[in-house]
Amino acid sequence: MKKIIAVLMLLVSLSFSKPPAPKLIVFISIDQMRSDYFDRYSSFFTGGFHRLYSKGIVFTNADLNYATSETGPGHATLGTGCYPAHSGILSNEWIDPITKRTIYCVEDSLAKQVDGNGGGFSARNLVVPAIGDWLKASSKNSKVVSVSSKDRAAILMAGKKPDYVFWYSRKNGAMMTSDYYMNTLPQWAKDFNASGWIEKNVPDAWVKSLPDSAFASLGPDNFTAEPQTNGTSAFPHPFTAGKKADQIMGTPYGDKFVIDFAISAVQGEKLGQRNMTDVLCMSLSNCDYVGHGYGPDSHEQLELLAAVDKGLGKFFDALDAAVGKDNYVVALSADHAVCPLPEYNAQFRNIPAKRYIYADDIKPKLDSLSSLLKYELNSSEDVIIKNSFINYSTAQKNGWDSLKVEQELTKGMLAIDAFVGVYFRHEMMSTAPSAKPFMQKFRNSYYAQRGEDFHYLIRENCIISSKTTGTTHGTPYSYDTHVPLIFWWNNAVSKKIAREVHSADAAPTLAKFAGFAFPKTVDGVPLKEVKR
């Protein structure tokens, strides 16, 4: 009887024991990926996307929950669990309130080249730690590696003190870094850069791989608002000999390069193959490049996504072999989504949409507004500085208090067809209720120490562009902020969850899943559905 009781007690103990922590956390961002791509194109996914979407925990209503839907803030939010208001990365670029100098989000004049490449960039502008920093605080020998085509994506996802961060050189066709992270590349990275990857893997042209029937619902391959080469935007897209290193960015081969480099990192650093948890961050950028050029409804975007699906399938197969299918967890999300081409929305969806050309439709009217304010104040000094700051002191000297100048600026801005809202510094710093739409999203984006005096909201389904082709993002509208959020591990119980969650939830969810602490000050929360 005593033996039976002992066995039962052991079984009970085992049933309530804590599952082992994953040996590898794989944190993936697909730059500019819209959540609806999974529903629209899932029938064409047979690789990595298929594994995640069909066997993972999918949050179908994930949102950024802040206004500046750009690459820098997006990757900083994913990595840190903090909105731009707390991470300090309020946009890709900002204008310093004191010097009025434009600052790039990861610029660092102190960061030098490594092995003759890179330099100039680091995480010094990030003011909070990220998931890799959280892990290393409790497990100092854990490794944190981050890779991307874009410097800001790799840097801001990784945090303040990762082991390795790499981004792509269009000039050299190689991965590079800065001495903020290392003094020389590890040998496996040198070997990869010297392997002739582009010559071995990039053909003479990017051609279609899917059957014609796959594109039947998308409209024509050649569309006027897409970038034209020799009078067409249609496939095939040829590469120029000697220029492939630059031209693969904007094609599936740019992402294939990064995926293969990530596999080399797993092998070279033995990530997930030691007695501790490691983190690998990977941001794939070419969905963004293709989306900017051709739009989310293009033949090019579907082809790109199908190729990424296959590339991630290869990547997960490599992890299964090197790390073991039971030993890693994956989270996939995006830094932002994108607005469809206005011309596509107008022609195929009957949506009132417009492209405003900045030099023709916006700048002359802003200049006129600036001149009008100077005239009304009888002032020789500008009232609007760099379309971002207000010269309150000049206005006050000439009889306008801050409320008056903001009222006049708002009236003038809203008289320009492209703009439907103006948000001032004191409003974005306030917690008081506001009737202005998207105010909380603007507040979540606003880091006061680096913030401008006002932001504006453009008309929905419209873009401001310097070109007559392509599209962009950067607004609080759902087409820019609705992103995928998926968690997968072997034997996860697949489910689709419709409640609203946020991209800031990804990092704390991974930390809780893996069993290490994260700061109480983060904006995100662990998602209760993601548990072993």
**Residues involved in catalysis:** 71
In three-state form (DSSP H/G/I as H, E/B as E, the rest C), the secondary structure along 350-410 is CCCCCEEEHHHHHHHHHHHHHHHHHHHHCCCCCCEECCCEECHHHHHHCCCCHHHHHHHHH
- CA-to-CA separations, 169 to 80, 102, 359, in angstroms, rounded: 26, 23, 31
Residues 490 and 1: their CA atoms lie apart, in Å, by: 38
- CA-to-CA separations, 447 to 87, 112, 241, 499, in angstroms, rounded: 8, 28, 45, 28
Helix (H) / strand (E) containing 157: helix 151-158
- CA-to-CA separations, 407 to 366, 438, 444, in angstroms, rounded: 16, 19, 24
Burial 110-140 (b: 16+ CB within 10 A, else e): ebeebbebbbbbbbebbbbbbbbbbbbeeee
List the structure tokens of 50. Answer: 């298929």
Residues 200 and 498: their CA atoms lie apart, in Å, by: 44
161 neighbors 133 (Cβ within 8 angstroms): yes
For helices 71-80 and 506-514, give the axis angle rounded to 10 degrees. Answer: 30
Residues 505 and 459: their CA atoms lie apart, in Å, by: 29
Burial 263-292 (b: 16+ CB within 10 A, else e): bbbbebbebbeeeebbbbbbbbbbbbbbbb
Instruction: Provide the total of helices (H) and of strands (E) in the chain, helices listed first.
Output: 21, 20
CA torsion sign for 429, 431, 437, 441 is positive
CA torsion sign for 524, 527, 528, 532 is negative
- CA-to-CA separations, 237 to 31, 92, 205, 219, in angstroms, rounded: 21, 29, 5, 18
CB atoms within 10 A of CB 398: 15
List the structure tokens of 388. Answer: 């971002």
List the structure tokens of 337. Answer: 């989504």
